[in-house]
Structure 1
Amino acid sequence: MIPVKWSEITIHTTNEAIEPISNILHEAGASGVVIEDPRDLIKERDTFYGEIYELNPDDYPEEGVYVKAYLPVNSFLGETVEEIKQAVNNLLLYNIDLGTNKITLSEVHEEEWATAWKKYYKPVKISEKVTIIPTWEEYKPVSSDEIIIELDPGMAFGTGTHPTTVLSIQALERFVSEGDRILDVGSGSGVLSIASVLLGADQVKAFDLDDIAVKSTVINAKLNHVESKIESRQNNLLDNVNEQADLIVSNILAEIIVRFIDEAYACLKPGGTFITSGIIQAKKQEVREELEKNGFEILEVNQMEDWISFIAKKPEAEQVF
């Protein structure tokens, strides 16, 4: 059998652009994404409650980050790379800083890729209760109330250890109550939906415009034995959603969050909580103003590295705008 050849595409960009570029690569058919951020080399590990990676400094850029993905070498490769370049450049329309924005290609064999990329992913405790582990790692809980989430990072959307995800899960841990009904807007891998159920939610509806994300949420929900409580479907934000939820969580770009804050207010029960993450410093004030304009009371503003998360509340007494 002739080994399959893969092309490693490397995009030298910024931390801000990691998630949208990762989504572009997955939509282009990438088999796995690896993030090489030099800040991981000097990061204080207690920020994430434990070790994440086994790191080699030679793999990292001096500034910015490398986002690497793997595409099969076939007759469509050139066209696929051009589509990726165009989609990445289009992020400038959303005022996303692309930094160096240099794209390079190199060839790797399937057997090398199949094992090499796994070295980046280890079990990581990201909050007081929640630990995320890749499916192939053996892990023994260190306490009786520890919540374990299994993910396969090769499917899509990373390992759940990005600061925006960590901020979201830390907020969920504090605000999810037993029996809650939750909406996860822009569900990605489904990690926030899974965490919500394991923290006590009775039902989660997970929405994502990307069909890959919808499938990934379904797969990961089954992996964690919570599929009966998570409904994953393709949907544009909260369009045509007529739910009354106890909590809404959304970990996506600030430019997208501000588009549906009014719908989020309408879909929350009085006293409900809205957790938003994925917000860069430059967009912090814009999101705050939009939340307050639509009637939300801001309970907390949290930060990890360059990322911001808001925890907002719909007042107990309905307000008219």
Structure 2
Amino acid sequence: MKWSEISIHTTNEAIEPISNILHETGASGLVIEDSQDFDAIRNAPFGEVYELNPDDYPDEGVRIKAYLPLNSFLIETVEEIKQAINNLLVYDIDIGPNKVTISEVKEEDWAHAWKKYYHPVKISQKVTIKPTWEEYTPVSSDEVIIELDPGMAFGTGTHPTTVLSIQSLEQYVNKGDTVIDVGSGSGVLSIASALLGAKEVFAYDLDDVAVKSTEENVKLNGLENKITAKQNNLLDNVDMKVDVVVSNILAEIIVRFVEEAWNNLKKGGFFITSGIIQNKKELVKDKLKEQGFEIIAMNEMEGWISIVAKKNS
């Protein structure tokens, strides 16, 4: 089977929404080539276990690559993708150069080529994310290893929004806690929560592909008895009391379920949010405060913001 590689030169800010657009149009084999990765490696506080080839990355911004079947609908599909990306401007998302290119590739060339971008990475004091096909030896007795296979649809778990989320989980999840992960994707935040001590985790995502990916990664880590993955729209019809709600989603979506997060948290519980760009920070903060949350922590990485809010009453 022949495939077309679609390459989009854009900004770090647009990674999440464009990745979602590509996924919704049936694209496979998502690869993110981020020029900021080199600075991140040089400044990494937890050490680094791999090297990047600068030839694989743009001089500035981000290249997002995915793969589409080479068929009679290709032109229409590409046009749909272009239009959807242009529509992101309505939400004040900087799409940068927005240069879209198409090239033909053979299936055997791309089916495994994307794996070269994915290596073990220590992203916090305790947590290291490791692809299933890589060998890795823990460097400390308390190191937590997340086995992750992103398949061809999800990221590798090392994007700044995910790193910020896991660093917050490491700080605020306690042994025996119950956690809700809203928008679970590959399940990496659910898995991190369980490995960091949570006794029970509920992973919700509207996308059934994400639910299946979460279930597969949960099995890889032997956590079937702790993590329940379910298709659900945010926190609709969810009624329980938990210690932590975590969500790595766009700011515009976070503000839609702040009240539901509040209602599902115990007194003293934490709402960990990530996926927030700088110019949406106040939007999320204001909504959290309006609901009654206390903002107890804010962290930034490569232009992305995470906020930790506490329910005190």
Specify the TM-score bucket, using the shorter chain as the normaliser.
over 0.9
* In 2: Cα distance, 1:88 partner to 1:54 partner: 31
- Whether 1:131 and 2:137 are equivalent positions in the alignment is no
Q: How many residues align?
A: 313
What is the match of residue 40 of structure 2?
A: 43
- Whether 1:158 and 2:167 are equivalent positions in the alignment is no
CA, structure 1 residues 195+28, in 2 after alignment: closer, same or farther (shift >3 Å)? same
The Cα offsets for residues 247-286 of structure 1, whole Å up to 9 and x where unpaired, read as 1000011111111111111110111011001111111111
Letter paired with 1:240? N
1:18-97 aligned at under 5 Å gives the runs 18-47=15-44, 49-51=46-48, 54-97=51-94
- The question of whether the paired residues in 1 share the 8 Å contact of 2:41 and 2:48 is answered with no
CA, structure 1 residues 53+232, in 2 after alignment: closer, same or farther (shift >3 Å)? same
Shift of 1:232: 1.2
Cα RMSD of the aligned pairs, angstroms, is 1.6
Shift of 1:138: 0.9
**Residue 289 of structure 1, aligned match among 286, 291, 294:** 286
Which 10-residue stretch deviates more, 68-77 or 193-202? 68-77
SS class of match (2:112):
helix
* In 1: Cα distance, 2:67 partner to 2:216 partner: 21
SS class of match (1:91):
helix
Shift of 1:214: 1.2
What is the match of residue 249 of structure 1?
A: 246
**Residue 269 of structure 2, aligned match among 265, 268, 272:** 272
What is the match of residue 115 of structure 2?
A: 118
Letter paired with 2:64? V
Give the TM-score normalised by the residue count of structure 2.
0.95
**Residue 203 of structure 2, aligned match among 196, 206, 224:** 206
**Residue 215 of structure 1, aligned match among 212, 218, 221:** 212
**Residue 306 of structure 1, aligned match among 290, 297, 303:** 303
- The question of whether the paired residues in 2 share the 8 Å contact of 1:178 and 1:200 is answered with yes
Shift of 1:161: 0.3
* In 2: Cα distance, 1:173 partner to 1:290 partner: 25
Shift of 1:51: 3.2
Shift of 1:288: 1.0
CA, structure 1 residues 233+258, in 2 after alignment: closer, same or farther (shift >3 Å)? same
- The question of whether the paired residues in 2 share the 8 Å contact of 1:155 and 1:216 is answered with no
* In 2: Cα distance, 1:168 partner to 1:7 partner: 34
SS class of match (1:228):
coil
Shift of 1:41: 2.9
- The question of whether the paired residues in 2 share the 8 Å contact of 1:33 and 1:154 is answered with no
Give the TM-score normalised by the residue count of structure 1.
0.93
- The question of whether the paired residues in 2 share the 8 Å contact of 1:187 and 1:206 is answered with yes
* In 2: Cα distance, 1:265 partner to 1:87 partner: 33
What is the match of residue 175 of structure 2?
A: 178
* In 2: Cα distance, 1:187 partner to 1:52 partner: 26
* In 1: Cα distance, 2:49 partner to 2:64 partner: 17
Which 10-residue stretch deviates more, 33-42 or 181-190? 33-42
The Cα offsets for residues 194-231 of structure 1, whole Å up to 9 and x where unpaired, read as 10011111111111112211111111111111122111
CA, structure 1 residues 54+111, in 2 after alignment: closer, same or farther (shift >3 Å)? farther
Letter paired with 2:200? Q
- The question of whether the paired residues in 2 share the 8 Å contact of 1:190 and 1:216 is answered with yes
5+ unaligned residues in a row in structure 2: which ranges?
none
Shift of 1:53: 5.6
SS class of match (1:241):
coil
- Whether 1:193 and 2:190 are equivalent positions in the alignment is yes
- The question of whether the paired residues in 2 share the 8 Å contact of 1:52 and 1:121 is answered with no
Which 10-residue stretch deviates more, 24-33 or 61-70? 24-33
Letter paired with 2:24? E
Shift of 1:168: 0.4
* In 1: Cα distance, 2:184 partner to 2:42 partner: 27
Which 10-residue stretch deviates more, 305-314 or 77-86? 77-86
